[in-house]
Chain A
């Protein structure tokens, strides 16, 4: 604005006609610039001066000066005529001219006396304004540069932040900085991991910076900005600082992004790997199940064949050695068969595909059968076996009969197997809440309910006993304690593990107590069984169940004629139980009355009547 046309006279006058402002400013400026002003005044152009004068005081001074000039000229002109002989008129005119001139010059002089301080002050003001204008020009220049710088910074920031790629960020920074500050070379030093040194990492012109490092505390670094060839302006330094901050932020963002991208890639890889592993596992399980299903049949068939034929062979005529051999074969193949069954059962138990076959069964009968099975073996070893069933043990229960029997048999079998002497006692009773909870089974929470009961079976023997620390191992697959393995390796190793799983399936708990080697042991298990709804499930040889639905003579209409009330009632009830539709009559007449109603066909049964033994019905 100030650099366009020099201010017109009108503008200057306008500005000068506000005396208060100018006066104040003028007085401020006077102190510093006064001396210079005075010097400058002497170099002022006279025409400009006149011009100032003329326009400041208006026409009056101009007129006066005009008049003076005119009169002075006139006087000197008239003086020319006085060179020779001149008349009196000329002398008078001359004198008048001179007087006028003198008057005008006095008036002018008086005028000037008034004007000149003002003129001088105008001048000072003008000069002050000039300086001010120059200063403003300078400041304008500064602001402009600053604005330019700001624009550069914004552009730089925009460039830097527009990308999340580390290299691009730094390259852009260097390029833009170089352009903005007109740099020959720009280098980026970054602190190393230890934070004690600065490492040269990027440069503008040089492509591959060698790894110069410089300790961070070196005083040279601080001096760089003071003693360099180029004079750094404050705004330039500020620009560099701002840029540096922005770059730092951008770099950290870039680092975070890199990190998260890496994590995401890792997760995806892991997912793929896990999926693959899962599919492999599923394939393996399926393959194993298929294998088991096939082997189940394939293995058992030859096994049974061997056992059956060996038993048959045993029945034939054999020499003692042959007999011994056959017995060994039979024993081993029985063991093998048991093992195969156990393995197949256990693998089905393992994947939880085994389910109990629930049904109603005779509980007492189960125990009796187990006893029958075990008695021969026990008597061979001369071990008396006693069975105690509690009187309140329900006769019938709902559960998996086969597997319960398997469990009981296994437990009792173990007792017999590992006893050389002493007696074996089996107790079975309904477990009440105190005997249900066991300190050894802290996570066994039996919940008594109305249609279930807990059966507790205890098998005590006076055999080898077990070392208490070995007890937990008993229930793990294929685990043999030292003593068991060396002495009596007829155990399959799986039996108790399977029992435990069956018992668990029956929502129960099994454990073994023993005081030590040689002190016998007691195996205890508790299982949950259901109580059958209809308690009178006992087979009745006399009558079929009181079930009016299924009958032998459905809907047969019967007329009972008997004069004895008691007998009549009994017979009626009997026939009702057989499903007949019974009417009663107590005399012949009543009978006829009933019969005449609606019967078409009549079968007659003899009922003992006192009056007439043979009763005849016509119709």
Chain B
């Protein structure tokens, strides 16, 4: 009984941290609301899909930015996609970088774009790690017999 409480507390603290540091925003909370008994792994599935999509997009972006003649519209489309996904998930920082990326795209600022790409990649890998840790903690709590106390 006490270990569950402890794990729960750990989870709550960690999640709080993520929110405080701006990694996650209210959208993530609301995603949790959509998860229930009929759809218990919704968030995990969604986030996994996000990871897949994002990785694909980032690779595409990297390739596109190495071209001789950069197709800014294509890049803009990719970034737009990424922005949409990240805002759907609620990974705030990634979304913010995407907004900046799009601005640079419109300005056809290649250095800005490359800088943004790098930033996006960083933020993405950061948030990916954090989310993976969060999910691992959730798994531990569930395994110990407790329940996930959303919203946090």
Most chain A CB inside 10 Å of its own CB: which residue of B42, B85, B88: B88
Chain A residue with the shortest CB-CB distance to B27 = A570
Given known contacts A543-B30, A567-B88, is B77 in contact with A573 (CB within 8 Å)? no
User: Chain A contacts of B15 at CB under 8 A?
Assistant: none
- Complex Cα distance A567/B81, Å? 9
User: Chain B contacts of A608 at CB under 8 A?
Assistant: 84
Instruction: Assess whether A570 is in contact with B5, with CB atoms less than 8 Å apart.
Output: no
Given known contacts A543-B33, A566-B53, is B42 in contact with A573 (CB within 8 Å)? yes
- Is A384 among interface residues, defined by CB-CB distance under 8 A? no
- Is A482 among interface residues, defined by CB-CB distance under 8 A? no
Given known contacts A566-B84, A567-B84, is B39 in contact with A573 (CB within 8 Å)? yes
Given known contacts A573-B39, A573-B42, A610-B80, is B49 in contact with A566 (CB within 8 Å)? yes
User: Chain A contacts of B50 at CB under 8 A?
Assistant: 566
Given known contacts A542-B33, A610-B77, A610-B81, is B147 in contact with A535 (CB within 8 Å)? yes
- Is B11 among interface residues, defined by CB-CB distance under 8 A? no
**Least CB distance, B21 to chain A, in whole angstroms:** 22
Instruction: Assess whether B147 is in contact with A570, with CB atoms less than 8 Å apart.
Output: no
- Is B70 among interface residues, defined by CB-CB distance under 8 A? no
- Complex Cα distance A163/B75, Å? 129
Scan A546-578; emit 1 where CB is below 8 A from any B CB, else 0. Answer: 101000000000000001111101100110010
- Is A540 among interface residues, defined by CB-CB distance under 8 A? yes
Given known contacts A392-B5, A608-B84, A610-B80, is B46 in contact with A570 (CB within 8 Å)? yes
- Complex Cα distance A535/B146, Å? 12
- Complex Cα distance A577/B53, Å? 24
- Is B36 among interface residues, defined by CB-CB distance under 8 A? yes
**Least CB distance, B65 to chain A, in whole angstroms:** 18
Q: Specify the main secondary structure of chain A where it touches its partner.
A: loop
- Complex Cα distance A573/B84, Å? 16
**Least CB distance, B6 to chain A, in whole angstroms:** 12
Instruction: Assess whether A543 is in contact with B5, with CB atoms less than 8 Å apart.
Output: no
User: Chain A contacts of B81 at CB under 8 A?
Assistant: 563-564, 610
User: Chain B contacts of A542 at CB under 8 A?
Assistant: 30, 33
Instruction: Assess whether A570 is in contact with B31, with CB atoms less than 8 Å apart.
Output: yes
Instruction: Assess whether B88 is in contact with A566, with CB atoms less than 8 Å apart.
Output: yes
User: Chain B contacts of A566 at CB under 8 A?
Assistant: 46, 49-50, 53, 84-85, 88-89
Of B5, B34, B37, B80, which one neighbours A574 at CB under 8 angstroms? B34
- Complex Cα distance A577/B39, Å? 11
User: Chain B contacts of A563 at CB under 8 A?
Assistant: 81
Instruction: Assess whether B88 is in contact with A570, with CB atoms less than 8 Å apart.
Output: yes
Number of interface residues of A (CB under 8 A): 19
- Is B38 among interface residues, defined by CB-CB distance under 8 A? yes
Within 8 A of A (CB), among B69-86: 77, 80-81, 84-85
- Complex Cα distance A563/B77, Å? 11
User: Chain A contacts of B46 at CB under 8 A?
Assistant: 566, 569-570
Of A546, A565, A574, A577, which one neighbours B49 at CB under 8 angstroms? A565
**Least CB distance, B54 to chain A, in whole angstroms:** 9
Most chain A CB inside 10 Å of its own CB: which residue of B34, B53, B147: B34
Given known contacts A535-B147, A546-B38, is B85 in contact with A567 (CB within 8 Å)? yes
Scan B79-101; emit 1 where CB is below 8 A from any A CB, else 0. Answer: 01100110011000000000000
Instruction: Assess whether A565 is in contact with B53, with CB atoms less than 8 Å apart.
Output: yes
User: Chain A contacts of B77 at CB under 8 A?
Assistant: 610
**Least CB distance, A606 to chain B, in whole angstroms:** 14
Chain A residue with the shortest CB-CB distance to B36 = A546
User: Chain A contacts of B33 at CB under 8 A?
Assistant: 540, 542-543, 546, 577
**Least CB distance, B25 to chain A, in whole angstroms:** 14
Given known contacts A566-B53, A610-B81, is B88 in contact with A573 (CB within 8 Å)? no
User: Chain A contacts of B42 at CB under 8 A?
Assistant: 573
**Least CB distance, B58 to chain A, in whole angstroms:** 14
**Least CB distance, A582 to chain B, in whole angstroms:** 13
User: Chain A contacts of B31 at CB under 8 A?
Assistant: 570
Most chain B CB inside 10 Å of its own CB: which residue of A542, A548, A570, A608: A570
Instruction: Assess whether A543 is in contact with B84, with CB atoms less than 8 Å apart.
Output: no
Within 8 A of A (CB), among B1-29: 5
User: Chain B contacts of A540 at CB under 8 A?
Assistant: 33
- Complex Cα distance A567/B89, Å? 8
Most chain A CB inside 10 Å of its own CB: which residue of B33, B39, B89: B33
User: Chain A contacts of B147 at CB under 8 A?
Assistant: 535
Chain A residue with the shortest CB-CB distance to B50 = A566
Most chain B CB inside 10 Å of its own CB: which residue of A566, A608, A610: A566
- Complex Cα distance A543/B31, Å? 11
Instruction: Assess whether B34 is in contact with A564, with CB atoms less than 8 Å apart.
Output: no
User: Chain B contacts of A567 at CB under 8 A?
Assistant: 84-85, 88
- Complex Cα distance A343/B88, Å? 62
User: Chain A contacts of B37 at CB under 8 A?
Assistant: 546
Instruction: Assess whether A564 is in contact with B85, with CB atoms less than 8 Å apart.
Output: yes
- Complex Cα distance A610/B49, Å? 20
- Complex Cα distance A562/B37, Å? 26
Instruction: Assess whether A573 is in contact with B53, with CB atoms less than 8 Å apart.
Output: no
User: Chain A contacts of B45 at CB under 8 A?
Assistant: 569
**Least CB distance, A613 to chain B, in whole angstroms:** 12
Within 8 A of A (CB), among B32-60: 33-34, 36-39, 42, 45-46, 49-50, 53
- Complex Cα distance A559/B5, Å? 43
- Complex Cα distance A548/B34, Å? 12
**Least CB distance, B96 to chain A, in whole angstroms:** 17
Scan A342-383; emit 1 where CB is below 8 A from any B CB, else 0. Answer: 000000000000000000000000000000000000000000
B-to-A contact residues, CB < 8 Å: 5, 30-31, 33-34, 36-39, 42, 45-46, 49-50, 53, 77, 80-81, 84-85, 88-89, 147
Given contacts A569-B49, A570-B31, 13 further A-B contacts (CB under 8 A): A535-B147, A540-B33, A543-B30, A546-B33, A546-B36, A546-B37, A548-B38, A564-B85, A566-B89, A570-B46, A570-B89, A574-B34, A608-B84
7 contacts between A and B (CB under 8 A): A535-B147, A546-B34, A546-B36, A566-B46, A566-B84, A567-B85, A574-B34
